Amino acid sequence: MRSDCARGDGQDRVSFKTLNAGAGSTRSRSTIHTDDPNNLKTTVYLRVLVRDAITALRRFLFWQPGEPLTGKVIRITVTDGFSVKDMEAASGTRAPSCHMETVKPGVEYKLTVTPKSAH
């Protein structure tokens, strides 16, 4: 968590680094320093619900030995409140090919993964 508070503006902006942290509820503590002589320092606890920006139906693809090497589909949906301009996919290896199809721009995508050779 990072907190930015300019002196005297009375506002505190808090940002969370959530990349690879996973979705779910998280709690964080922020210490506030004031110029109030009766209360120079106080602690505020924040409970934040971190949501995934996208959901993927089928996160793991597997081809059984002897199964035809036809494409399998991962359906990707953008969570309400999040914005996606372009969605692309690529393989970390040259073995499978990836084809991304836009079903509904900014909302729904279909990723087809096709192996090029048996494992």
Mean pLDDT by 10 residues, the chain (119 residues): 54 64 76 84 83 83 89 91 76 76 90 81
Within this chain, do residues 34 and 22 fall inside the same structural domain, yes or no? yes
Helix, strand, or coil (residue 2): strand
pLDDT at 20: 59
Within this chain, do residues 63 and 46 fall inside the same structural domain, yes or no? no
pLDDT at 22: 66
Calpha distance 109→30 (Å, rounded): 39
Within this chain, do residues 102 and 62 fall inside the same structural domain, yes or no? yes
Within this chain, do residues 36 and 71 fall inside the same structural domain, yes or no? no
Q: How many domains does the chain have?
A: 2
Within this chain, do residues 68 and 108 fall inside the same structural domain, yes or no? yes
Give the range of the structural domain holding residue 94, as residue numbers without chain letter.
54-115
Report the predicted TM-score, pTM, of the whole model to 2 decimal places: 0.59
Calpha distance 88→114 (Å, rounded): 15
- Token reading at 80: 């309400």
Within this chain, do residues 70 and 104 fall inside the same structural domain, yes or no? yes
Within this chain, do residues 90 and 108 fall inside the same structural domain, yes or no? yes
